[in-house]
């Protein structure tokens, strides 16, 4: 329950009278935290974080709370969501990329944008999209066939290209050409790299005029992305022949009060959100899936058996999804171990009480799928890749709000079903024909910035299935 305790922001600040030794300790702790966060957000979590439910970290004059149990996640993201909008940190980290688009907008603008996009995610639309998802997979597989047996692929890049193509075909009714796909992948990689450094600065709340070379790098990446987005929008504006895609919904939008259409900047922001939220996440989940399968031959063999049995050599179609249960379980288990979005950050509007602790207004509250999905008190052998736990009959699946790859509550992902359908069909299409094997001695370390990516990519070789 949100309590009416008045703003305690001031109370929360370190008082001038705080003993010097305590202040030094706080500085040291903060420096250690920032040093770890600078390289990899996963490293901020100490061993005990994987067993705790709700606690507070102090970071230079600020309180950061971590909600890490079903009840506290429900509190922050669902039952008291109105008190926990996306944090100023999320805004600052993403604003250059997605402007005022649906991912970070708030209040009435967010409600309007969410309503506007809803028809693009209706079940009837998803069924239609499935053919475009399969077509895009076939195009990729044709390229792989011509690359030949043993060819080396950069799998993260391949999956990002595929999922960006799927978003383009389904949401904007056009294919993404090779050059555009390359620009999108590189720009988003660069933006994420710039964020690794930006995060630290933003958490400290340093003034925005301080020189930050990473910001320049981030801006350059956005400029490249914009060239692709502008080309997509311009092409569709020039050809408005009847299509029922997201871009058409945006073109047709009229402000209920003024009757005006959507201004170009907001339209660009909406396209950017769908493009980026829609492709980076799904591409990421698929990349980790190929990595995990390459390390787990028994699970891979069971996947092949299911695919061969259900498809009997033909291409997958939408109606196969209900029988591809193990394929889906592999995807779910992959996103448990490597949630594409590893951290959601919110900011308390008013003072609140969670688990008997005061959460002062202005505090940042973090929900980390990375932690929740590996919580030792929730999951049986959390570090083990075991897709069976997601089969319906298996009771070891964690409780509600402990498995949140798509978030939960009013800001949960509207593209969750889209992503599940897409990734399941892609896994079936690829695994029907190929195995992917990690380059020998390549070290894979998950690095969490905006999304959870492998530190040095995923160079993998391509092999036709001979079984
Ligand atoms: C495997 C695929 C995907 C994953 C893991 C994923 C994950 C997420 C998560 C965790 C959030 C909520 C973040 C938060 O609460 O702070 C989110 C929001 C969002 N996602 Fe996805 N997503 C996926 C696919 C998609 C697709 C395919 C689309 C669109 C084509 C999409 C569009 C969005 C949008 C627009 C939001 C913002 C919603 C709002 O704030 O109201 N996502 N996604």
Give distance in angstroms: CA of 156 to centre of ligand 1: 19
Give distance in angstroms: CA of 279 to centre of ligand 1: 10
Q: In terms of pLDDT, which residue wins out, 118 or 92?
A: 118
- Binding site membership of 420 for ligand 1 (Cβ less than 6 Å): no
The total of other beta-carbon atoms located within 10 Å of residue 207's CB is: 7
- Closest C-alpha residue for ligand 1 atom 30: 278
State which H helix or E strand residue 161 sits in: helix 155-172
Give distance in angstroms: CA of 25 to centre of ligand 1: 38
- Binding site membership of 233 for ligand 1 (Cβ less than 6 Å): no
Contact 164, 184 (CB under 8 A): yes
Where helices occur in 40-87 by DSSP H, the ranges are: 70-74
State which H helix or E strand residue 287 sits in: helix 264-295
Residue ranges per structural domain of the chain:
89-345+370-464
pLDDT in tens, 294-327: 999 999 999 999 999 999 999 999 999 999 999 9
Instruction: Indicate the pTM of the whole model.
Output: 0.90
- Binding site membership of 361 for ligand 1 (Cβ less than 6 Å): no
Mutate to test the pocket of ligand 1, among 413, 418, 427 (most ligand atoms within 8 A of CB): 413
User: Could you give the 3-state DSSP secondary structure of residue 347?
Assistant: strand
The reported pLDDT for the residue numbered 205 is 53
Ligand 1, atom nearest to 346 Cα = 16
pLDDT in tens, 409-461: 999 999 999 999 999 999 999 999 999 999 999 999 999 878 899 999 999 99
Which residues are 364's β-sheet partners?
A: 64, 347
State which H helix or E strand residue 388 sits in: none
Query: Is the pLDDT at 92 greater than 90, yes or no?
Result: no
pLDDT in tens, 337-391: 999 999 999 999 999 999 999 999 989 999 999 999 999 999 999 999 999 999 9
Mutate to test the pocket of ligand 1, among 343, 415, 426, 452 (most ligand atoms within 8 A of CB): 415
Mutate to test the pocket of ligand 1, among 277, 289, 409, 426 (most ligand atoms within 8 A of CB): 277
- 404 — phi, psi (to 5°)? -130, 50
The reported pLDDT for the residue numbered 9 is 38
- Closest C-alpha residue for ligand 1 atom 27: 278
Q: Of 3.90.650.10, 1.10.490.10, 1.10.3720.10, 1.10.630.10, which CATH number belongs to 89-345+370-464? A: 1.10.630.10
Contacts (Cβ under 8 Å, ≥6 apart) of 59:
29, 30, 33, 203
């Amino acid at each position: 329950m949100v309590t009416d305790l008045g703003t305690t922001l001031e109370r929360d600040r370190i008082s001038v009278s705080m003993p010097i030794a305590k202040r030094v300790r706080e500085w040291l702790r903060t420096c250690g935290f920032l040093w770890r966060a600078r390289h990899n957000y996963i490293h901020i979590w100490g061993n005990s974080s994987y067993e705790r439910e709700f606690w507070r970290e102090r970071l230079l004059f600020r309180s950061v709370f971590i909600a890490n149990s079903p009840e506290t996640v429900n509190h922050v993201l669902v039952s008291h969501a109105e008190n926990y909008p996306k944090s100023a940190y999320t805004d600052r980290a993403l604003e250059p990329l997605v402007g005022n688009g649906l991912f970070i907008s708030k209040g009435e603008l967010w409600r309007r944008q969410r309503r506007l996009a809803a028809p693009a995610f209706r079940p009837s639309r998803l069924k239609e999209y499935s053919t475009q998802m399969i077509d895009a997979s076939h195009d990729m597989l044709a390229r792989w066939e011509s690359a030949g047996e043993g060819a080396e692929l950069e799998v993260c890049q391949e999956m990002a290209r595929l999922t960006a193509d799927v978003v383009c075909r389904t949401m904007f009714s056009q294919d993404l050409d090779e050059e555009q796909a390359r620009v999108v992948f590189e720009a988003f990689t660069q933006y994420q790299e710039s964020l690794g450094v930006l995060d630290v600065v933003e958490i400290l709340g340093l003034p925005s005029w301080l020189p930050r070379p990473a910001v320049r790098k981030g801006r350059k990446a956005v400029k490249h992305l914009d060239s692709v987005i502008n080309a997509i929008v311009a092409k569709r504006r020039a050809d408005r022949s009847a299509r029922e895609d997201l871009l058409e919904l945006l073109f047709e939008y009229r402000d209920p009060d003024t009757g005006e259409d959507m201004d170009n900047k907001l339209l660009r922001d909406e396209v950017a959100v769908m493009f980026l939220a829609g492709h980076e996440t799904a591409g990421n989940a698929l990349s980790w899936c190929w990595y995990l399968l390459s390390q787990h031959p028994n699970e891979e063999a069971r996947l092949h058996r299911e695919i061969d049995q259900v498809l009997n050599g033909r291409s997958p179609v939408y109606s196969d999804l209900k029988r591809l249960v193990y394929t889906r379980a592999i995807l779910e288990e992959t996103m448990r171990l490597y949630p594409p979005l590893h951290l959601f950050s919110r900011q308390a509007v008013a003072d609140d009480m969670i688990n008997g602790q005061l959460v002062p207004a202005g505090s940042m509250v973090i929900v980390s799928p990375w932690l929740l999905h590996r919580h030792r008190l929730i999951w049986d052998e959390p570090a083990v890749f075991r897709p069976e736990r997601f089969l319906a009959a298996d009771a070891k699946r964690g409780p509600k709000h402990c498995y949140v790859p798509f978030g939960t509550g009013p800001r949960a992902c509207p593209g969750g079903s889209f992503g599940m359908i897409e990734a399941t069909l892609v896994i079936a299409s690829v695994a029907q024909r190929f195995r992917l094997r990690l380059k020998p001695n390549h070290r894979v370390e998950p690095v969490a910035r905006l999304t959870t990516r492998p530190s040095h990519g995923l160079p993998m070789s391509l092999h036709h299935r001979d079984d």
